[in-house]
Amino acid sequence: MSTAHARDGRFLLAPLTIFLLAMLGLPLAVDLIYSLSRVEFATILSPQFVGLENYGQALRSESYWQAAWFSLRFGLIAALAQLLLGLFLAIFLAPLIDKRPWLLAFLMLPMMVAPALVGLMYRLILHEFVGVVPWFLFTYWGDSPSFLGPDNAFTTLVVVEVLQWTPFALLILYSAYAAVPAEVREAAAIDGAGPWRRLWAIDLPLMAPAMGAAFFIRFIDGFRVFDNVYTLTGAGAGGSTTTMSIWVYQAFFKSGDIGQAVAASMLLLAASWLVLALVHRVSERRA
Amino acid sequence: MNLLRWLVFAVAALAMNFPVIATLVTSFKSEAEIASNPSWWIQAPTLANYAGVFAMADRFDVLHYLWNSFASALLGAGLSLVLAFPAAFALVRFGAGRRWLMPLVVNLRAIPLIVFAIPLYLVYARVGLLDTKLGLALILCVVNLPLVLILLAAALRDLPVELDEAARVDGASTFTLLWRIVLPLAGPALATTMVLGFVYAWNEFLFALMLTTRDAVTATVGASFFFAASGGGVRWGAAAAVMMLSVLPPVVLGLLLYRRIGQSLAAGAVKG
């Protein structure tokens, strides 16, 4: 690379770099300072240094760990379900979609709907008096579970998340399935491999990177979830559906304890970093 | 076998689109019918909910909320393209920032947004960006950057490098090349990226909830107001109508461009 190119390159990167510094660097600095201070809305300009007290408080709080456990479980279970369901649909429906690509439009549509709206829509649909799902269950089955009650809220949220985002996994896996070279499949068929054997020995191994990517992206999004959980259960059901993001939000807006909210968000950032580093290491070893 | 495939497709499409379909049905029922007939058929279709929503502009200005969503999403998506396009070119052709910028922006996709939301709230409050479309657009741009940068870098990587070289031989500077040759060729990719960025920005909720209170409230946040009403109970018909209005623009864009969007998302996920 010539020096002229290096200079041009720096020049082309400059706007984005400056923007990121302002929009991310500044907030992170504020996060760091306030997480080490005792500070409320009234004392916003005179934070009082208290060291790691806020971090200790968050880590000793039972509700924070409950939220962490919720987010982790939610992310893992929902991502796994989306991966398996998306894999099944991608492979089983491939013959239909290959010939009629417009079918994809119907399967992709849920991803265009705001998760916050999806949460609100399910509040309507699952409502015990005006909702169509309880009405259906009462009419044809005689009983309906309390979908948003403490016992069922977690399952309901997972199902809602899976129904909205399985299309994402489906889309990635369908592309990966379509990219498997036809010659490899044909060669295996000539060698006498049946459909199941071809699936296990050829398609799935070749689709593994796409499966990893789909699972990871859906896990991360589930782990940091806010919108649909907040609008569907309002973190209600006895606090049993508080995700980590919602915990931080409530510490800030409802308790006004800025120091602790920010310390908790820094811990959340560290946890995400850990996950990223772990995934990076695994994917590098495989490559 | 094919019949079974069609059946599976129908069940999957219906189940995944169920919330939108059920809300659409509800939005055409009168409030009285919603209470007496929660089923999936409509006895007396009516547009009263939609008319009612537009008629209460003094308390709930749905047109204003839709305009806020539209303006901030357009501005946010546009800004992310303006910032990411030259950067993506420098990344792909010169390898500039490959070690730090690309990983930083891509990993941003994995960081819980709430981490930035609180300090931004405090900073915005100081500099007067709280409850403004510009303030919201700036952060929507940040939210979009990972996807936009990945998609643009992938698109530019697919352009033949010989074109660059030919232009260089003719004496074009990097900026002439970028403006006259690369930008027109990358047009379709830029358009798809813009649409996706717009949809993502339109659908974003956390920042709109935290950073807007009145003037810049977006459609998704506005829709949630209907459910926050305590005491009098929720007006389900009006809520359904508002939700349908908020969901319409991204869904229409998705239907129009499903093919390009699908390819982009799949490519972006794997290349990222």
pLDDT digits (tens, 9 = 90+) for A96-137: 999 999 999 999 999 999 999 999 999 999 998 899 999 999
Calpha distance B217→B210 (Å, rounded): 10
- What number of other Cβ atoms are within 10 A of residue A9's Cβ? 23
Q: With contact defined as beta carbons under 8 Å apart, do B88 and B149 qualify?
A: yes
B242 in contact with A, Cβ within 8 Å: no
**Alpha carbon distances (Å) from B47 to B53, B237, B240:** 10, 10, 12
Q: Which of B111, B243, B250 sits opposite A120 (nearest CB)?
A: B243
pLDDT digits (tens, 9 = 90+) for A135-189: 999 999 988 899 988 889 999 999 999 999 999 999 999 999 999 998 888 898 8
pLDDT band at B181 (very low <50, low <70, confident <90, very high): confident
pLDDT digits (tens, 9 = 90+) for A3-33: 777 888 888 999 999 999 999 999 999 999 9
pLDDT band at A56 (very low <50, low <70, confident <90, very high): very high
- Please tell me the predicted confidence (pLDDT) of residue A123: 93
Q: In the predicted model, is pLDDT for residue B252 greater than 60?
A: yes
pLDDT digits (tens, 9 = 90+) for B228-251: 755 457 889 999 999 999 999 999
- Please tell me the predicted confidence (pLDDT) of residue A6: 80
Beta bridge partners of A38: A48
Residue A223's nearest CA partner among A80, A29, A58 is: A80
B266 in contact with A, Cβ within 8 Å: yes
Residue A171's nearest CA partner among B203, B253, B265 is: B265
Q: What is the pTM of this model?
A: 0.93
Calpha distance A110→B254 (Å, rounded): 10
Q: With contact defined as beta carbons under 8 Å apart, do A122 and A178 qualify?
A: no
* Whether A96 and B243 lie within 8 Å, measured CB to CB: no
Q: Mean pLDDT, to the nearest integer, of B47-58?
A: 89
Calpha distance B94→B182 (Å, rounded): 14
A209 in contact with B, Cβ within 8 Å: yes
| B162 compared with B150, residue with greater pLDDT | B150
Name chain B contacts of A269, Cβ cutoff 8 Å. 111-112, 115
Q: In the predicted model, is pLDDT for residue B269 greater than 80?
A: no
pLDDT digits (tens, 9 = 90+) for A186-235: 898 888 888 889 899 899 999 999 999 999 999 999 999 999 999 998 75
Q: Which of A96, A124, A210 sits opposite B239 (nearest CB)?
A: A124
- Please tell me the predicted confidence (pLDDT) of residue A238: 61
Residue B203's nearest CA partner among B261, B162, B249, B151 is: B249
Calpha distance A283→A209 (Å, rounded): 9
Residue A77's nearest CA partner among A173, A175, A165, A146 is: A165
Q: In the predicted model, is pLDDT for residue B272 greater than 60?
A: no
B228 burial (CB, 10 Å; 0-12 / 13-18 / 19+) is exposed
B230 in contact with A, Cβ within 8 Å: no
Mutate to test the interface with B, among A70, A71, A99, A121 (most CBs of B within 10 A): A121
Calpha distance A233→B228 (Å, rounded): 12
* Whether A244 and B139 lie within 8 Å, measured CB to CB: no
Q: In the predicted model, is pLDDT for residue A90 greater than 60?
A: yes
pLDDT digits (tens, 9 = 90+) for B62-93: 999 999 999 999 999 999 999 999 999 999 98
B8 in contact with A, Cβ within 8 Å: yes
* Whether B270 and A136 lie within 8 Å, measured CB to CB: no
**Alpha carbon distances (Å) from A140 to A133, A143, B1, B228, B261:** 11, 8, 30, 32, 40
* Whether A164 and B16 lie within 8 Å, measured CB to CB: yes
User: Phi, psi at residue B160, to the nearest 5°?
Assistant: -65, 135
- Please tell me the predicted confidence (pLDDT) of residue B148: 95
| A174 compared with B57, residue with greater pLDDT | A174
A68 burial (CB, 10 Å; 0-12 / 13-18 / 19+) is buried
- Chains A, B: CB contacts within 8 A come to 292
Closest chain B residue to the Cα of A167, Cα to Cα: B16
- Please tell me the predicted confidence (pLDDT) of residue A192: 86
Residues 112 through 141 of chain A touching chain B, CB cutoff 8 Å: 112-118, 120-125, 127, 129-132, 134-136, 139
Calculated CA dihedral for residues B249, B8, B18, B66, nearest 10 degrees: -10
Question: Is the ipTM reported for this complex over the cut 0.90?
Answer: yes
Q: Which of B13, B118, B236 sits opposite A261 (nearest CB)?
A: B118
Q: Which of B38, B120, B221 sits opposite A132 (nearest CB)?
A: B38
* Whether B23 and A124 lie within 8 Å, measured CB to CB: yes
A80 burial (CB, 10 Å; 0-12 / 13-18 / 19+) is middle
Mean pLDDT score of chain A: 90
Calpha distance A201→A182 (Å, rounded): 14
Calpha distance B265→B272 (Å, rounded): 10
- Please tell me the predicted confidence (pLDDT) of residue A237: 54
- Please tell me the predicted confidence (pLDDT) of residue A235: 56
* Whether A176 and B118 lie within 8 Å, measured CB to CB: no
Name chain B contacts of A107, Cβ cutoff 8 Å. 9, 12-13, 16
* Whether A8 and B251 lie within 8 Å, measured CB to CB: no
